[in-house]
Amino acid sequence: MGGVGIFLALFLFFLALIAFFPNNTHERWLCGSILVAWFDSAVCRLVRFGPLHRSVGKSALPAFFLLNRLFYQGFQSLTVSSLLEKVTTLAQQAVQTAGCELVDVQYVKDGRTWYLRLFVEREGGASPTLEDCARVSDHMEGLLDVNDPLPHAYRLEVSSPGLNRVLKKREDFLRFTGRKVAIQSLQGVSLGDSGSADEKRRNFKGVLHGVEEDDVVIMVEGMRLAIPLAVIGKANLELEF
């Protein structure tokens, strides 16, 4: 078996290991990290010193390094998404125990540090007090210690959602009807009868007019738009002066 064959065999082996641990975050993260590091090393060797170097030359280096980077980003995105689902379930428990409501969960890396951020509010929408945030933090720390879903060190932060509060649930869009909002959709949305049939946008700012069936209704530049809730990637309140 040639070098390329061995490369592909090992690549598939580590992918199989990742699939073998669907519910074990630590093992999946370890196998994925090994796979990414090995993939990086193998690509460099094949392109710089191996048959790929002789066949395609140095001009292929940028393309192979880009492929490697995209693979790493794809693995990290899938892994973080899986972690976020588990952490959100725990956060719901912690917030309810503390008598609050969960608005959003973020699990992000800033520099060399991972941050787990919980945004909460009191039942009914009031801003949480420092004592509320402390209670949520204590409950969440306990759940994280018992379940241990995160594969590396992190910092836990609990705070209010702020003035530009995110909107995620159907109830959020109903509650803030009449407020100015910014919405980003995952796919283009037609501007309606007053615009060109082919004219579509993904970013909107306007006044929220509530929810009709499965659509969020917003007034944008005098036009009434219905954006399917399922295609909204991000939405938040806009500051009004």
Confidence at residue 221, expressed as pLDDT on a 0 to 100 scale: 84
CATH 2.30.30.100 in the chain: give the residue spans: 170-237
Largest CA distance in the chain: 69
One CATH from 1.10.240.10, 3.30.300.70, 3.90.1300.10, 3.40.50.10680 for 86-159: 3.30.300.70
CATH 3.30.300.70 in the chain: give the residue spans: 86-159
CATH class of 170-237: mainly beta
| Tens digit of each residue's pLDDT, the chain (241 residues) | 455 555 556 556 655 555 554 455 555 555 555 555 555 555 555 555 454 444 444 544 455 455 555 444 444 554 667 788 889 999 999 999 999 999 999 988 888 899 999 999 998 888 999 999 999 999 999 999 998 888 778 999 999 999 999 999 999 999 999 999 999 998 888 776 554 555 788 999 999 999 998 999 999 988 899 999 999 999 999 987 6
Confidence at residue 234, expressed as pLDDT on a 0 to 100 scale: 93
Confidence at residue 179, expressed as pLDDT on a 0 to 100 scale: 94
Q: Is the pTM value of this prediction over 0.75? A: no
